[in-house]
Structure 1
C-alpha cells in the first residue's frame, strides 16, 4: 500500500460504505419482469461506464423483487461490474436493483458517492487484477470486501468530484448537441424529400461518392504503431488491442476527423469519424464524396441505402451478412443540384456543429482522464485543478 498524500488516508471501503449484492429474478416468471423498477444488467454498465444512469434496458416488478434475492438500492449507490466485463462503474440516479454481476456500495456519511464513483473509475485496471478465472473473469465478494480506498475529508471529496463532474457534465452536453444536430439534419432531409419529391431523383449511390476499402493488416515487429479501426470501433474508437506496426499504410486507408466510415460486413453501419487519425481495415469503406457532394449528403445517402438493405433483411427474416460492390451502384434518392445547394446552406452547419461537439468531447475526456489520477492521489490540489477546468469549460 503506497503512502497517502497529506490530508489523505487509507481506510477499508467496507468500513465507510455498505456492500450490497444483486440478483436476477426468475426468467421463467414473466410477471417478474417489465415492471416499474429499473434493473441494472451488464449491458447497462458497459454502455454507460463512468455515468450516472436513471434508466435501464430492463426492469422488474415488485413481485420479482419480493421473490428473489434482489434488493431495491437507493439513488447514489455506486455499482461495479464484477463478472464477464469486470471493472465497469455506474451510479444509480434513482432507486434501482442490479443483477448478481455487480458489487454495490451504499456510501456512509464520511464518503461522498460521486467521489467513490471516480475512485473506481480511476482504478478500473487495478480492479481487474482482482479477477479470477480463465474463461470467465470474476471478482469475488471476499476480494471486494478487502478493498481499501485513499480519501481526504468529505468536503475535499465533494470539491474534487465537482471538478471532474464539471468536465463530465460538459461532455454529456456535447453528446446531446451532436445527437440533436444529427437528428435535425436527418429529419430536415427526409422532410424535404417528402415535401418536394420532384427535386429528387434516383441516382446510383456510387455516383455520389467513391468507396475506398481498407485492407487486412498484420502485426509487424518493425515500424510505427498505428491504430486500426475495426467494425465494432467505428462509433467507440479503436481499442488498445488494435495497435499494429505497419510502415506502409496507404494514404487512402487513413481515416481522419470528419470522414465518413461505412462498415459493409457484419454490422451494417455508417458513422462520422471524429477521433484522431487511424487506419481502416478490410471490412470498412471510407466514403469520399465526388464532385460537389457535401460530406453530410454522402453520409445521408449511405444511411438511406443501409435502411433499404435492413428492410430487405427484415422482410426475409434473415441477417444480411455484407454488401457487395454491385450494391453501391443501386439507386438512392438524390437531390437535384438546386435542391442540394438549398439543403447545404441549411444542413452543413448542423454537420459541422456535431463534429465540433464530438471533437471537443475528446479534448474534455482527455483532460478529465489526466486530472483524475492526480486528484485522486492528492498529487494535484483542488485549487490548481479548478483553475485548469475553469479555463477549459
Structure 2
C-alpha cells in the first residue's frame, strides 16, 4: 500500500481476492435449470442495481463445476470487465457469473464492499484505458488487480456509504412520484382516447400523411457527432418518453449530402420498425436542431389540416397503439413492422377543437413532468458531484484543515 492524498491507496488485488466467471456448455441440459443464480452482463442493460438477488438463468452444481466459475458468497462485488465495462453489483445471495465479470471478495478488515461499489463505478475511464481487444474490449485479471484505489479507514468508508445512500433514497422517492404521475396521466389520456374511438371515424396513417405513407430513413453509416452536421436520429437516440437523449456522448451525425432526403421538418413523426423497441415514437421539433433519421425508423409527415401531429404522437403512446403493435409485429428473424403495415394502422380523427383540447391538456401534463424530470436530473448531478468529492476525500481534507 502507499500514501496518496488524504488516504492511503492499494491495488485491488491487495485488498480483495479476484475470481473470474465462466459458462458451462449449452449443449448439456443437465448443467442448466438448477438453483444456483448465474449472472450475465446483459442483465445490467439500462439498469443500475446496488444489490442483486435474482438472475435470469440458473446453474446446477454440475454446471457450476463445468463452467470453471467460483460460487461467490453474499457481499462479493461483481464487476463487468468484458464489452460492458465497470457495471457492478453486490451479490445478495450466493451466485456465479459468466466470464464477462471479475468478482471480488474483500478483506473486510480493511474494505467495505459497498464503498468499493461506488469507487469502481467511478473508474470507467481507467477501466477503458486498461482494456484491450479487437472484437470487444476486455480487462485481464492482472490489469484489473493492478488498479489503484483509495483505502480510507473503515469508519470513513461507512460514513461515505451512508451519505450516498441517503442521496439515493431521495432520488428513488422522486422517481417513484414521477412514475405515479405518469401512470395517472396515461390513464386519463387513454380514457379520453377511448371516447374518441367510440365517437369518431378512423383513418389509416397513409391517408393522413402528406407523402402518402411512411418513408424509410437513410442507410448511411453514422459519423462522429459534429455540431456543423445534422444529428443522426437512430432508434437508440430516442428514450421511452419519445424524446432525444440529451447525452452528447451518445449522439452521432450524418454528412449533409446523405442527409438531404431524410431531413426532418416540424411535426414529422418517427416510428421504430425493428427490434425490441418496435413501435417507439418520436415527434420532431426544431428545438432538437437539424436532424435526419436512420433506416430503422419510418417517417410520417402528418397532414396537420386533418390530424395534429402532437395528437398522432399521443395516440402512438397510447395503450391502443401498443396493443396493435403487439398484435402485428412479426417475430420471424428480427422483430419488425414494415412501413406498409404502419400505413394501414387506423387512428381516430376527432374534430379539430377536440384534438386541440387533448393536445393542450397533454402539453400541460408533459410540462409538469419535465419540470420534475429536470429536478431529478439536477439531483443526480449533485449526487454525482457529492460522490466524486467524497471518494476523493474532499470532506476528509476539509475536516483536517
Q: The TM-score by the shorter chain falls in which range?
A: 0.7 to 0.9
Q: 297-306 vs 126-135, which deviates more?
A: 297-306
1:298 aligns with 2:307: no
8 A Cα contact 1:87 1:125, kept in partner: no
5+ unaligned residues in a row in structure 2: which ranges? none
Tell me the secondary structure at the aligned position of residue 330 of structure 2: helix
Q: Per-residue deviation at 1:120?
A: 0.8
Q: Partner of 1:87 in structure 2?
A: 86
1:107 equivalenced with 2:106 (yes/no) = yes
1:388 aligns to what? Answer: none
Deviates more, 1:104-113 or 1:360-369: 360-369
Give 1:143's aligned residue: 143
> Is 1:358 aligned to residue 357 of structure 2?
no
* 1:391 counterpart residue number: none
- State the match for 1:133 in structure 2: 133
Matches within 5 A, 1:78-227: 78-109=77-108, 110-186=110-186, 198-199=198-199, 201-205=201-205
Distance 1:315-1:201 versus aligned 2 partners, 3 A rule: farther
Q: Secondary structure of the residue that 2:43 maps to in structure 1?
A: helix
Q: State the superposition RMSD in angstroms.
A: 4.7
Match in the other structure for 2:236: 232
Residue 329 of structure 2 contacts residue 336 of structure 2 at CA under 8 Å; is this kept in 1? yes
Query: Secondary structure at 1:86's aligned position in 2?
Result: strand
Match of 1:91, SS state, is strand
**Equivalent residues, number:** 377
CA distance in structure 2 between the aligned counterparts of 1:157 and 1:121, rounded to whole angstroms: 15
C-alpha contact (below 8 Å) 2:233/2:292 kept by paired residues? yes
Offset of residue 43 of structure 1: 0.6
When residues 318 and 43 of structure 1 are mapped into structure 2, their CA distance, relative to the original with a 3 A threshold, is closer
Aligned with residue 339 of structure 2, among 323, 333, 344 = 323
Unaligned runs of 5+ in 1: 386-393
C-alpha change, 1:362 and 1:154, in structure 2 (3 Å) is: same
- Whether the aligned pair in 1 keeps the contact of 2:281 and 2:313 (CA below 8 Å) is no
Residue 89 of structure 1: how far off its partner (Å) = 2.3
Conserved 8 A contact 1:51-1:89: yes
The offset of 1:177, in angstroms, is: 4.1
Counterparts of 1:242-281 in structure 2, within 5 Å, are: 242=251, 244=253, 253=264, 262-267=270-275, 268-270=278-280, 277=288, 280-281=291-292
| Higher relative contact order (CA closer than 8 Å, sequence separation 6+) | 1
Instruction: With the length of structure 2 as denominator, give the TM-score of the two structures.
Output: 0.71
For normalisation by structure 1, the TM-score amounts to: 0.73
Aligned equivalents of 2:12 and 2:301: distance in 1?
A: 51
Provide the C-alpha distance between the structure 1 equivalents of 2:43 and 2:65, rounded to a whole number of angstroms: 23
1:13-28 map, 5 Å: 13-28=12-27
| Contact kept? 1:280, 1:286, Cα under 8 Å | no
Stretch moving more, 57-66 or 186-195? 186-195
How far 1:11 moved relative to its partner? 1.5
**CA drift at 1:117:** 0.9
d(CA) in 2 for partners of 1:225 and 1:50? Answer: 37
Structure 2: distance between partners of 1:382 and 1:261: 52
Contact 1:20 1:105 in 2 (8 A): yes
Give the CA deviation at 1:350. 6.3
Q: CA deviation at 1:118?
A: 1.2
